[in-house]
Amino acid sequence: MRLRVRGLTLLVLLVLVQPALSQEKRQQADRARTKPSVAVNNPTFETLICDDCYKFYGEARNIGSLIRSESANQVLEPIMKFAGPPVEFKTIVKFLTLHSEEVMTSRLLVATSPSAKNVPDVVVALDFPTAAEATKFSTPLNGFLNKVLPPTEETSESQNETGPTKPPTKTSKPSFYLSQYGPMLVLTTIKLSLPALRQTGKLLTENSQFRTAHNRFVAESLFFYIDFGAIEKEEEEQRKQYAEEAKKRQEELERNPQAEEPGEQAEEMPPVEIPETKAPESQETPKTAPAEVTISNTLQPLATAFFAGQGRYPDALGLGLSIEGESFDARALLINSSGVKTDAIPFLPMFAFAPGLVPEAPSILPADTELFISLSLDFPQIFTRMAALAPREYASIGGTKTNEAGTPFGSLEKQLNIKVKDDLLPLLGSEVALSLPIQTLDFIAPSQKRAKAQTAGSPETNASEPFVPGPLVMVALRDRERMKALLPKLVESMGFKGANAFAQTESKEDTEIVSYANAFAYALVGNFLVLSDPPTIRHVVDRYLNHETLAGETQFKNYTRWQPRQLQGQVYVSPALMASYRTWAQQPNAIISDQTREFLARLTMIAEPITYSLSNDGTGPFHEIHVPKNLVLMAVAAVAGEANPPPMLSNEKSTIGALYSVFSAEVTFRGNKGAGSFTSLDELVDQQLVNKEVLENFGYRIEVISSGVKFQATATPLEYGKTGKRSFFIDESGVVRGGDHGGGVATVSDDPIE
């Protein structure tokens, strides 16, 4: 199971148990506690710290209600049952549950990752409705913290000037300090100093960007604020410091070349950049044989450039999370100073977004679309950004360093004999859509045996396997007729010489499908150019003409109602993802425990989609995603089950890994010493291609039979029902198969292991 949702689970748990977890990182610091000190003044948390003291701020509202909520308990259930969490974690959960009534309407607040000096690494506060409630809760909280983080003793030695050495003395050091400010309990790792927390004089509540984010997410259960401006400032100061240190070392070395032993300089001194030697303009460049022009080396510079560049991060990020409903909803607001723009997706700086629009792609795509992405892109701006990259990075791919041919578009324009900016971009609209099968999300979707129709005919007539549309790309058009005339030229120029001679055109009402053998096809559907393989294009056109589109699909309409009308981005993951978990959990060859299988079976009710939107109402880029709660719970259960599998299941998983090791070793041997033939298991061990311990330590007997270009490896339990139940098989195909044979041998006729 390749599930990657640990982040969401840990995010929820972190907020629920932060008062204790934040101290666990500081066990080497001071310990022991007495009663909390009570300060005279009663600040709120937002007026307790300055606006540039910390880079991260978190807040959980009504934490007692949150702890008691059905969603929180459903997330904790598989963790407590399957993951085998440590005793400390269980103690924390028990304490929070026991005292949830006392903190029913309280706020939990956290500030960490300090930017200022002489401040605690972490400040945690519990804000109660009244000071009396805070005082009452301080007693059980203090006792709990001392139990979870018992004081540690430090040994120190001292010596008299005139006498013998005194015996070592042991002292206890406190690791946390609990202070009360009216209705607020404040927990820190060092003694709290209000002047240190207010050293700039400007408080967090006076920060306009913080107020903007806080007000935007006032209704969410969980709120986080990240000061990217402070992070960037800190990184810039570190870069300057490193540069100054390197400069000083270089100057010292120049003054005293013998200051370092030979060899040390190469290890410690930073590499010195050698400037590029430029030939005179009049000098002729030596002629070399031209490289073969292919579609791959034409598009390679474009692909490289699209993921290059430095993104513009926002000054701050506000994040809200709601977990009370039937979905877990996360919302993020990118905030900048007035008049400053940022990239909506900073780690993809080439994505220049156009103004919001009402996506039309759902009116073209078929109703059975599994994964759909729509973006409103500013193509001229993207072209400008990509063309502005360093020309010398692309000079080796058919261009020069002194003109536009040296940009990422150089080789493409040369091959197509067009100017992208002048001839192509004016024909394109701003909406781009991408449709993918759900198995594209293999890193979060369970593996399944799914077949795609491989016929040039209509996919609906292929009854042997359900048709699964392939990947397709859609681009909105401003000038459909000019694009229609340009497309044959583009196809011919993209390396498919003579392609138009065997192109096949199919007319369906007012739509034409142009296909090239069974490899590539395009169609002009509505105001979109659709690109994919021929069966997928026919599927799209047929569904469109029959009015069976995604826009009319009930779940798409119902689950996207929350989205703003004007969007810059939209993502829809159909219920097929959740349905795939139901199928996976029901498969007898799925390697999961019986307890996890039973838990998943309870959750697989109505499959629901994942929905996402990107918009901008003038405040800044606003991301919002809704994930079905049951999907999150299934992911948590699967991860928890993998974290602490039963011994027999652990043996089976390890044995599968051992069989893959045998397969890899056989392939290596065949390509080297085997001269095209596989070999025995003993030979693989002798050649140190496979570790003998890997084969013998998991309660299975592994045997190999080889003959020329064929081999079979089997694994059977040493004690059926104790060291394992399933038997396994692998051959030169590299597919592990198996099943419960009562301790017997698995064969090639067994089903693949999921």
Helices 6-24 and 131-148 sit at what angle, rounded to 10 degrees? 90
Measure CA of the first residue to CA of the last residue in the chain; give whole Å. Answer: 8
Q: Quick one: the chain helix, strand, coil %, rounded to 5? A: 40, 20, 40
Chain segment 47-89, per-residue pLDDT in tens: 888 888 899 999 999 999 998 888 888 888 888 888 888 887 8
Supply the pLDDT for residue 84. 82
pLDDT-based confidence at residue 149 (cuts at 50, 70, 90): confident
Q: Please, is 233 exposed, middle or buried when counting C-beta atoms within 10 Å of its C-beta (0-12, 13-18, 19+)? A: middle
Cα dihedral 355, 360, 366, 367 in deg (nearest 10): 90
Any alpha helices (H) in 309-348, and if so which ranges?
none
Average pLDDT over residues 116-138: 91
Helices 6-24 and 70-82 sit at what angle, rounded to 10 degrees? 80
Q: Is the pLDDT of residue 27 over 60?
A: no
Supply the pLDDT for residue 434. 95
CB 699 within 8 A of CB 682: no
Rounded Cα distance between 631 and 584, Å, is 13
Supply the pLDDT for residue 281. 45
The total number of residues shown for the chain amounts to: 754
CA-CA-CA-CA torsion sign (652, 654, 657, 662): negative
Q: Which residue has the higher pLDDT, 651 or 457?
A: 651
| Letter string b/e over residues 409-441, b meaning 16 or more CB atoms within 10 A of that residue's CB | bbbbbbbbebebbeebeebbbbbbbbbbbbbeb
Query: To the nearest whole percent, how much of the chain has pLDDT over 70?
Result: 79
Q: Which residue has the higher pLDDT, 741 or 618?
A: 741
Rounded Cα distance between 750 and 580, Å, is 21
Q: Which residue has the higher pLDDT, 465 or 424?
A: 424
Q: Is the pLDDT of residue 752 over 50?
A: yes
Q: Is the pLDDT of residue 462 over 80?
A: no
β-strands 37-38, 177-181 pairing: parallel
Supply the pLDDT for residue 278. 45
Chain segment 193-210, per-residue pLDDT in tens: 777 787 666 888 889 999
Rounded Cα distance between 541 and 366, Å, is 8
Which pair of tokens denotes residue 494? 């993209």
Supply the pLDDT for residue 228. 92
CB 145 within 8 A of CB 167: no
Supply the pLDDT for residue 166. 64
Return the residue matching tokens 């419960």: 740
Supply the pLDDT for residue 733. 93
Domain chopping of the chain, boundaries:
1-152+173-242+313-336+592-599+615-645, 348-574, 647-740
Residue of 134, 83, 198 lying closest to 636 (CA atoms): 83
Residue of 251, 192, 230, 176 lying closest to 18 (CA atoms): 176
Chain segment 267-294, per-residue pLDDT in tens: 444 444 434 444 444 444 444 333 344 5
Chain segment 324-357, per-residue pLDDT in tens: 888 999 999 999 887 788 889 988 888 899 999 9
Query: To the nearest whole percent, how much of the chain has pLDDT over 90?
Result: 43
Supply the pLDDT for residue 315. 92
Rounded Cα distance between 209 and 314, Å, is 11
Strand pairing partners for 508?
A: 511
Mean per-residue pLDDT of the chain: 80
Q: Is the pLDDT of residue 559 over 70?
A: yes
Supply the pLDDT for residue 292. 41
Chain segment 533-544, per-residue pLDDT in tens: 999 999 999 999
Rounded Cα distance between 534 and 513, Å, is 8
Q: Is the pLDDT of residue 545 over 90?
A: yes
